[in-house]
Amino acid sequence: MQPMDETFVPVGGGAMTLEQVMRVARNREKVQISSDSIVKMRKSRAYVKRLLREKRVVYGLTTGFGKFSDTYIPAEDAKRMQLNLIRSHACGIGKPLPEEAVRATMLLRAGALSLGYSGIRPRVVRLLADMLNAGVTPVIPEQGSLGASGDLAPLSHLALVLIGEGVADYKGERLPGGKALAKAGLRPIALEAKEGLALINGTQVMTGIGALACQDAFNLTGWADCAAALTAEALRGIRDAFEPHTHAIRPHPGQGLSAANIRRLTQGSRLMTVQGELRVQDAYSVRCAPQVHGASRDALRYIREKLEIEMNAATDNPLIFAEEDRVISGGNFHGQPVALAMDHLSVSAAELASISERRIERLVNPFLNEKLPPFLAQDGGVQSGFMIAQYTAASVVSENKSLAHPASVDSIPSSGNQEDHVSMGTIAARKASQIVSNAYSVLAIELLCAAQAADFRGPDRLGKGTKWIYDRCREHAAFAGEDRVLSGDIRTVADWMRRTDVRQAIAAIVPLD
């Protein structure tokens, strides 16, 4: 077998990780299908051909779909049925999914098919990989999936491009699918028996969106600790609450890590106080930051585990077990494991934004901010300072509360009540992604407010880590000595946070885990 090229992200050559998805989806790294996967797919495909010759009754191969599962389809109609399947199921509506979400979906679909349980030809999966490598990205509407029989509608829009139909983005142009393939030097495929169903029966859209959101949320927990640390200094916070003794006797890993991060970031601070110096204890939004941030951190570990299981799973129906001479119609396409994880992600990210907004309120409120200027304005009254920035944070946090309502508790029967319980997992993933994005904006507002407060306190009095954070903030947004439009600053800081791995960025300054 030909060895894998280490410059490529392997498809089918081992367990796919969240980091590998990021490399392909965001960094546009290239992929390569493993030789072992090619062998598995060929065996599976040979078995499908045998089933056709023997005229066995197999769902989706010699029968119709959904409620038509008892309708026999003769072999001569198999190709037409697969083509009709893709066209009829491409019913997505709404805005197109972001390019990175589609690329993640393509990678994960190629990975699932390469496991060799789908009965698909290797050349179909190769075309998916070639499209990723060439930058041909199908345009997939974001709405239309029930999340069981998988992501049928959105994956059908992906499959359209493989057959030279649909719409795709290529080098900044939105083109008919066939034209995009041709410009990239690729040729569409003609679907054969089982292949249309194999392409669309899976959970890769919800999983791809979820993988991106989960990775962003992990980074967000680090920024939450950074924001809390800078705010704690600006409010002359009590360092005792972050000392290890308290957290050692309630040993949730995330809680201990968040407390350690805040301790390290504020190391050397001349603004932090001790218990009884100014007050006996701080408000919950400061004092309980490790407990709240840590709970979200621990939840994300569970969510990551579920996503990485799903990323490496066969989620088709039916599944081909060629060596056992069996075809099993099951329910691996049901998105409930991802749906529950995505609803958990929504709540976890929403809470990071919620406690951040409460710290913003303490920074701007003259009755709570330890003698900082009201609303952090240099000339209060003539200037409004960060008054409305807090409004914006409160608005987004309230919106998150609505978005965090679990999608997975809902189900609407479909396909003549054959598919009578569905996951709504793709809705859950889309909502989680929006909440994570909103949370970045709220934390950006907190960083801007905390940096403004630090200017009034004296940035030279900050700790080693918080001074680094303050300096980076000031590189992206100047001190607001006069009122100005802040929406651009919020967006700039939020974008900087999203693209910066906070653990790596300040590892040279303080050991942030």
Domain count of the fold of the chain: 2
Q: What is the pTM of this model?
A: 0.95
Tell me how far apart the alpha carbons of residues 279 and 237 are, in angstroms, rounded to a whole number: 9
User: Does residue 83 form part of some domain?
Assistant: yes
| Largest interatomic CA distance in the chain | 85
- Among 152, 183, 202, the domain-final residue is 202
Long-range contacts: 7-15, Cβ < 8 Å, 24+? 8/32, 9/107, 10/34, 11/37, 11/107, 11/110, 11/111, 11/114, 11/125, 11/129, 12/36, 12/37, 12/40, 12/111, 12/114, 12/115, 13/37, 15/308, 15/312
**Is residue 510 in some structural domain?**
no
What is the pLDDT, as a whole number, of residue 508? 67
Q: Where residue 408 sits, what CATH number does that domain have?
A: 1.20.200.10
User: Chain-wide mean pLDDT for the chain?
Assistant: 94
Domain span at 431: 210-505
Q: Mark whether 371 and 493 lie in a shared domain.
A: yes
- Is the pLDDT reported for residue 365 higher than 90? yes
As annotated, the active-site residues are 59
225 and 150 in one domain?
A: no
> CA-to-CA distance for 119 and 195, rounded, in angstroms?
7
Residue 72 pLDDT > 80: no
More confident residue, 327 or 68: 327
Domain limit, last residue, from 202, 222, 254: 202
Same domain for 197 and 311, yes or no, is no
Of 107, 105, 98, the closest CA to residue 8 belongs to: 107
Predicted pLDDT at 1: 41
Sorted by sequence, the CB contacts under 8 Å of residue 287 that are 6+ apart come out as 237, 238, 241, 281
| 153 & 220 share domain | no
- 4 belongs to a structural domain: no
The whole-number average pLDDT for the span 276-283 is: 95
Is 1 inside a domain boundary?
Answer: no
Asked if residue 226 and residue 180 are part of one domain, the reply reads no
Residues 271 and 127 occupy one common structural domain: no
For the cut 50, the answer to whether the pLDDT of residue 283 exceeds it is yes
Q: Which amino acid is at 75?
A: A
Query: Does residue 187 sit in the same domain as residue 275?
Result: no
| Structure tokens belonging to residue 61 | 């191969």
Do 298 and 446 share a domain, yes or no?
A: yes
Residue 4: predicted pLDDT: 57
Domain boundary among 154, 180, 202: 202
Q: What is the CATH number of the domain that holds 169?
A: 1.10.275.10
DSSP class of residue 277? T
In a domain, 31, yes or no: yes
Q: How far apart are CA 10 and CA 13, in angstroms?
A: 5
Same domain, 256 and 122: no
62 plus 176 within the same structural domain: yes
- Higher confidence at residue 54 or residue 487? 487
Whether residues 145 and 73 fall in one domain = yes
Q: What percentage of residues in the chain have a pLDDT greater than 90?
A: 84
The pLDDT of residue 259: 97
Least confident window among 21-30, 53-62, 218-227, 248-257: 53-62
**What span, in angstroms and rounded, lies between the C-alpha atoms of 146 and 423?**
6
Is pLDDT at 271 greater than 70 in this prediction?
yes
pLDDT of residue 137 exceeding 50, the answer is: yes
CA angle 338, 496, 435 (to 5 degrees): 30
| 412: confidence class by pLDDT, cuts 50, 70, 90 | confident
Model confidence pLDDT, tens digit, residues 192-238:
988 999 999 999 999 999 999 999 999 999 999 999 999 999 999 99
User: Is residue 357 domain-resident?
Assistant: yes
Asked, for residue 18, whether it belongs to a domain, the answer is: yes
Specify whether 235 is located in the same domain as 290.
yes
Burial class for 408, CB neighbours closer than 10 Å (0-12, 13-18, 19+): buried
**Alpha-carbon distances of 502 from 25, 441, 474, rounded to whole Å:** 20, 16, 16
Q: Is residue 2 part of a domain?
A: no
State the average pLDDT over residues 66-89: 81
Predicted local distance difference test score (pLDDT) of residue 152: 94
Which pLDDT tens digit goes with each residue over 421-479?
899 999 999 999 999 999 999 999 999 999 999 999 999 999 999 999 999 999 999 99
Question: Using 50, 70 and 90 to split pLDDT, how confident is the model at 3?
Answer: low
